[in-house]
Amino acid sequence: MCGGSAAVHEKQVAYSTLSVTFYSRSIAVETGKGFGYQVMGALRQGWDFMLDLVFALISIWPLIIALLAGFFLLRRWRRSRKPVKPAAS
């Protein structure tokens, strides 16, 4: 009964075409030619530089402490040395 009908449907499916279209939403990106964009870029670069500077100082804190300690020890050592006074004649 349905045997002949199934064969007809198989041929129709074999010759059918399926079209698929993909859509995506694009986000507008500033090209960097405007004055405001350049100002924001400069501020961003300045902020990044400040953060890099802070992190660099944090990473070399043992060296800073050693230099300060050496400086104060040298000052103390120089003050403790008293110059020899010439003998009065």
28: number of Cβ within 10 Å: 5
Residue ranges of the domains in the chain?
Answer: 33-81
C-beta of residue 44 within 8 angstroms of C-beta of residue 53: no
Each residue's pLDDT tens digit, 54-76: 999 899 989 999 999 999 999 99
Alpha carbon 81 to its chain's center? 51
Indicate if the alpha-carbon torsion angle 47, 49, 55, 61 is positive or negative: negative
Q: pLDDT tens digits for 14-55?
A: 777 778 888 888 877 666 688 888 899 999 999 999 999 999
Q: Which long-range contacts (CB under 8 A, 24 or more apart) does 72-80 make?
A: none
